[in-house]
Each structure stands twice: as C-alpha cells, then as structure tokens.
Amino acid sequence: MISRSAGRLRGAHIDQDTEQVLGEIADDQGRGEQVRNWFRRPGYVPESLFYLFAGRPERILISSMEERVAALWPQSDTPVRERH
C-alpha cells in the first residue's frame, strides 16, 4: 500500500483514492471484485477502513477467514463456520 499509493492519495478524495488503490492490490491477488463489493455493502463506512489500517498499511491482507485459519492450522479440515 505504501508504494502503490505514493502520490495518489488526494486530501479531498482520500476515501475514493484509497479504495481505488486497495482495489488494484486486490486485483493483483485475484480478489478485486470481492473487495469492491465490500465497499458497496450497506453499512460500510469509509472511515472504518482507515481506523483499521491506520499506521499499518503494510499489514493489509485480503483473504477469507477460511484461508487465514488454514494458514495458521494447516492440518485442520473443519470449516470455520462449524467451529465453536
């Protein structure tokens, strides 16, 4: 995010510019449409994105919960939705 956004984030359009850059990063990972759908969902507040990533843009991960669990516990074959 740091290198991709350099010189592209305009103060008056920070929300749209950031969403654009994040969409491009997601495109590179094959998840562009998924991420753009998140931005279109009712209840999405652009500012929430900034609070989440404030100060740590290098930590942006675009993945499903299942993928994150599998990365932490590769031996697990139980879907996340079934765990308690």
pLDDT digits (tens, 9 = 90+) for 20-35: 998 999 999 999 999 8
pLDDT digits (tens, 9 = 90+) for 46-67: 776 665 555 555 666 666 777 7
Q: Are 4 and 25 in contact (CB under 8 A)?
A: yes
Tell me the whole-structure pTM to 2 decimals. Answer: 0.56
Q: What are the sequence ranges of the domains in the chain?
A: 2-82
